[in-house]
Structure 1
């Protein structure tokens, strides 16, 4: 028997493969789907079906890709939408997988046609339920995707799905959601790797609400809506192009790269210290680990992407970008920044300082202490504290609120480590800001008397 969870870094996306005998099913596969056939082949199984829990908004689903490689049949949820592939799932549909059986359970709320899938063991008893984005560890799926004018309606549907369809399956049933902590598909998913319906019944704050009316009021709120969601919605209806049909990014010599960078967007995936020391002028900094979380906020789909990376092998950055539908990746800087400098090309830099340096500067400057930009989220400020006198603009809001940042003062940019601060600095520098310093480290070393941290 085969049961594995596949985690996609950065997106906090969970997919699953279940098999028995010589057959296997995959639930909510990712686009770079080599991992599933390898798992199945190792156990002497072939993948016969792909099940989608809902039309995803935060990543390109790999159903079409996996079907092309294995011949597996695709079953998609949200059958009311105009899909160009697969067959619509209906409540109560069943699939045999060796001695096991999977049953579709309609659980609308996060989306109108969301489906969960109940896996029964060889004795026919409920064992595992794949809840998609309906139920997470410590939270429930957001209900604002159809607009706030329908949020209360969707919250009511979600209440019925959770309390009438899922929880009655039994406290001992393992719950397998489509996302973990860090996903944008809910407000505060818990960092519990595995959970059960019983654990969620007792510990999930959303499930402690006593009435449906209170539940609807609590759930019907608007959350951040990344701009790339629209492209994900489109691709997940028509089916994304097969990865084999996409050209591989070309290694570009420094001068050719420089010419191309005038028209295209340069994404630098090196760490913040390397980017701050020297970078291709006009480039956007998003460190490799942050690409899944932030590329969709700041990269456009109507321009080709040029990459600068740490190692000279941009393969991992390409994989992560294509999970978000960024398929127009023209090339990468051959030889990295060493080759750029060897070719005599001009580079830009951004100053860095640690928190102790900033605290000393703030306390010594009596008249003009500079302007502190804090790009942490509101939740982080509530948890860790706010720097007195700092101006808080969450990183994802910076493009829309960039006019609030003064150009005639020295701007110190703070997050919790320096990584997101460097992203913000690169955005500002691209738009003409010059006097910027990225602060490295978090609040642990903060000791300013004139700008203390207030919780």
Structure 2
């Protein structure tokens, strides 16, 4: 038997390659598909079918990409939606995978048509269940995409899906969700690398309820999501142009890069580490360090925008990959040779002021009221980690809606968990015309290494 768990960091997306007797299927493939092809060839398997658990919102599904390379059949869920590719899978529909059997099981809640897939072993007993965004390690799928007025209905669907369909499969069944910790498709997915139905039955906080009403009350919340989700929903119905037909973004000279910057609908994303950006960056660029790119690009860059990249080392390929995964296809190129070549061409650069936690802590003691502390962590982080004395909290994703709440006559000290997101905030403020913002280096990690107060 073949079983491969394929993780996509940043998006916290998980897909699966499973097979038996040289026949393999892929569940919820990502857009860059080489890893599936490579692993199948290495094991001597042919990919014959592709399954989708639901119409995804946070990344571009790679089904059409994989079909173009393998000829595999595509089977998608949400049969009432207007898909322009593949075949609608039916509840209870069975598929052979060598000597194994894969059965579709309708598990609505996250979306109305969500499907889980149960893999049955050689003796006919269930081995694994691929739950998509219905049930995760330590959490359940968000149910708010149909709006606040439908939370009771979608919550009821999800309760029935989990308690009446997934849990009865048996405690020993391996649970294979479509996301891990950090995904926006739930509020608090656990770090468990592997899990089972039984582990979730006993340890998942969202399942420790006495009845459906209690479950709906617990999970029936509206969560934030980035604007690009709407574009993903549409593109995952129609399919996107194949990546093979895209012109690969090229390295640009400083002169070419500067010329491309002049277009008003062009956005410059700097994916280098925050300290590199602070030292010197291209004017007008937005700092989104590479590890944060999949999580935050959709909040600040419009879908369809023209994009220029400032990178270093192996970052160009990784940044382009992450942008493609989230549907940003209009990449004009990247600064060849990085910021050093920009300097050597005599081009203007800018910097961001920084401050250590020791200095900030001292300022709070000696000059209280003369500074504005902006904490851009989420409410969940504040509850779990504590708040900074005298700080105002505006979550990073909501910052553009609250510029008018920030002072122009005081230094703004920007604070997050480690400093990465603070640099993103500082770049947004700089581009908005703020001139006196400073990033707190090391964020809460550094703060906790001192005696500075947490309230």
TM-score (norm 1): 0.97
| C-alpha distance in structure 1 between counterparts of 2:241 and 2:390, whole Å | 49
State the number of aligned residues. Answer: 450
Contact 1:312 1:334 in 2 (8 A): no
1:304 corresponds in structure 2 to: 306
Return the offset for 1:214.
1.2
1:369 Cα deviation from its structure 2 partner = 2.7
Query: Which one of the candidate residues 342, 349, 365 is aligned to 1:340?
Result: 342
Residues 1:410 and 2:414 are matched in the alignment: no
User: Distance between the aligned counterparts of 1:69 and 1:369, measured in 2?
Assistant: 61
Alignment partner of 2:448: what SS? Answer: helix
1:234 CA displacement: 0.8
Deviation at 1:271, TM superposition (A): 0.2
CA contact (8 A) 2:135 2:177 kept: yes
Equivalence for 1:426: 427
Q: Secondary structure at the match of 1:49?
A: strand
C-alpha separation in 1, matches of 2:355 and 2:178:
39
Match of 1:447 among 422, 430, 451: 451
Q: Please, which runs of 5 or more residues in structure 1 have no aligned partner?
A: none
Q: CA 1:251–1:312 in structure 2 vs 1: closer, same or farther (change >3 Å)?
A: farther
Distance 2:285 2:322 in 1: 18
Is the contact made by 2:14 and 2:178 (CA closer than 8 Å) also made in structure 1? yes
1:383 corresponds to 2:384: yes
Summarize deviations over 1:121-151 as a string: whole Å, max 9, x none. 1111100000000000111001100111111
Contact 2:370 2:410 in 1 (8 A): no
Contact 1:356 1:445 (8 Å CA) reproduced: no
User: Does the alignment pair 1:321 with 2:318?
Assistant: no
Is 1:124 aligned with 2:128? no
Whole-angstrom CA distance in 2 between matches of 1:444 and 1:389: 16
Equivalent in the alignment of 2:228: 228
The structural deviation recorded for 1:215 is 1.1
Deviation at 1:313, TM superposition (A): 5.4
Structure-2 residue corresponding to 1:265: 267
The residue that corresponds to 1:360 in the other structure is: 362
Two-structure CA RMSD over aligned residues (Å): 1.1
Q: Distance in 1 between matches of 2:389 and 2:314?
A: 42
Alpha-carbon displacement from aligned partner over 1:300-341 (angstroms, at most 9, x marks no partner)? 123200000022751110000100000000011111111101
Q: Which residue of 2 aligns with 1:371?
A: 372
Q: Is the 8 A contact 1:355 1:445 kept in 2?
A: no
Q: CA deviation at 1:88?
A: 0.3
Judge which range, 213-222 or 101-110, deviates more. Answer: 213-222
- Structure 2: distance between partners of 1:214 and 1:312: 49
1:33/1:66 contact within 8 Å kept: yes
- Structure 2: give runs of 5+ residues left out of the alignment: none
Deviation at 1:92, TM superposition (A): 0.7
Task: Give the structure 1 partner of residue 198 of structure 2.
Answer: 198
Which whole-Å CA distance do the structure 2 matches of 1:125 and 1:386 have between them? 50
User: Which residue in 1 is equivalent to 2:332?
Assistant: 330
How far apart are the structure 2 equivalents of 1:302 and 1:177?
Answer: 30
SS of equivalent residue, structure 2 residue 49: strand
> Which string of whole-angstrom CA distances, capped at 9 and with x for unpartnered residues, describes residues 283-314 of structure 1?
00000111011111111123200000022751
Relative to structure 1, is the Cα distance of residues 384 and 170 closer, same or farther in structure 2, using a 3 angstrom cutoff? same
1:243 and 1:317 map into 2 onto residues whose CA distance is 15
Instruction: Tell me the residue number matched to 1:211.
Output: 211
Counterpart in the other structure of 1:93? 93
Match of 2:83 in 1: 83
Q: Is the 8 A contact 1:407 1:433 kept in 2?
A: yes
Aligned partners of 2:312 and 2:337 also within 8 Å: no
1:241 deviates by 1.4
1:18 correspondence with 2:21: no
SS of the equivalent of 1:327 reads coil
- Contact 2:290/2:315 (<8 A) preserved: no
Tell me the distance in 1 between the aligned counterparts of 2:181 and 2:305: 31
Deviations, residues 90-114 of structure 1 (Å, cap 9, x unaligned): 0011111111110000100100000
Matches within 5 A, 1:239-278: 239-263=239-263, 264-278=266-280
Instruction: Determine helix, strand or coil for the equivalent of 1:37.
Output: helix
Q: 2:352 aligns with which of 343, 350, 353?
A: 350
2:286: which partner in 1?
A: 284
CA contact (8 A) 1:100 1:121 kept: yes
- Residue matched to 1:394: 395
